[in-house]
Amino acid sequence: MTLRVLICDDHLIVRQGIKQILAEAEDLRVMGEAANGPDALRLTRAGRESGEGPDVVLLDIAMPQRDGLDVLKALKTEFPKLPVLMLSTYPDRQYAVRSLKLGAAGYLNKSADSEQMIDAIRLVARGQLFITPSVAELLAGAVGAGGRKAEDDQPLHERLSHREYQVFQLLAGGRSVGEIAEQLSLSPNTVSTYRTRVLEKTGVRNDVELALFAVRMDLLQP
């Protein structure tokens, strides 16, 4: 059986590299490429309607217009059984657990070798989770012996919702409320509300302290 793979990454050279990797496997075929979030959703929907949709979606975290985590949420809402393997250049601790909580079938750093990527695609296509040892360690830290850790034991940034974390990242990166509103297609008032929640949950007083918190926790995007 040939597995159809949709590659979603905004860098052409990365997509070309992944295509070369997948060409080494006779049972894998690239059925499409997306350079932004909306295209990833459009190609998946169109493929599903035609009966030639992806069996696995390779989805970059840092997608333009609509980021990878937003796309992941939409895909899992519309196609709950579709395996989505997240790709990232960010350290695992920034997004791995968050991605898995949103329904990702696995999280793979782009520094992984070609064999690991091929194995990961085959594994998630069979309905299994792909978890590297480093991600397994993060998951163990996020879950206590009796279940999920009590909120008081969680790192402050892990208490943020997905949207709050997006706003947190952008604020820490020096973006204004207006710029964030435009990027996330939200009203400035809504972004201000999220900003207030982020400051409260992280225990800082302003954007400067928020940026310092992000640096201290190594959470700034490259």
Q: With a cut of 90, say whether residue 154 has pLDDT above it.
A: no
Query: Do β-strands 28-34 and 3-8 pair in parallel, antiparallel, or remain unpaired?
Result: parallel
pLDDT at 150: 45
Q: Which of 97, 119, 141 is the last residue of a domain?
A: 141
Mean pLDDT, the chain, integer: 86
Kindly state whether residues 54 and 16 are assigned to the same domain: yes
Task: Burial-class residue 214 by CB neighbours within 10 Å (0-12, 13-18, 19+).
Answer: buried
Q: With a cut of 80, say whether residue 8 has pLDDT above it.
A: yes
**CA atoms within a 13 Å half-sphere pointing along the CA-CB vector of 43:** 23
pLDDT at 160: 82
pLDDT at 164: 86
Q: Is 222 domain-assigned? A: no
Q: What CA dihedral angle connects 184, 220, 161 and 91, to 10 degrees?
A: 120
86-116 pLDDT, tens digit each: 998 877 777 888 888 889 999 998 888 999 9
The domain of 202 spans: 155-216
Phi, psi (rounded to 5 degrees) for 147: 125, -150
pLDDT at 101: 86
Specify the CATH number for the domain of residue 74: 3.40.50.2300
- Alpha-carbon distance values, 136 to 87, 131, 189 (Å): 16, 6, 38
48-72 pLDDT, tens digit each: 888 889 999 999 998 888 889 999 9
Kindly state whether residues 18 and 116 are assigned to the same domain: yes
The count of domains in the chain is 2
Structure tokens at 42: 């459009």
Q: What is the CA radius of gyration of the chain?
A: 18
Give the number of other CB atoms < 10 A from CB of residue 192.
15
Query: Do β-strands 143-144 and 147-148 pair in parallel, antiparallel, or remain unpaired?
Result: antiparallel
pLDDT at 143: 53
HEC string for 3-14: EEEEEECCCHHH
Structure tokens at 41: 């959703």
Q: Which of 141, 165, 187 is the last residue of a domain?
A: 141
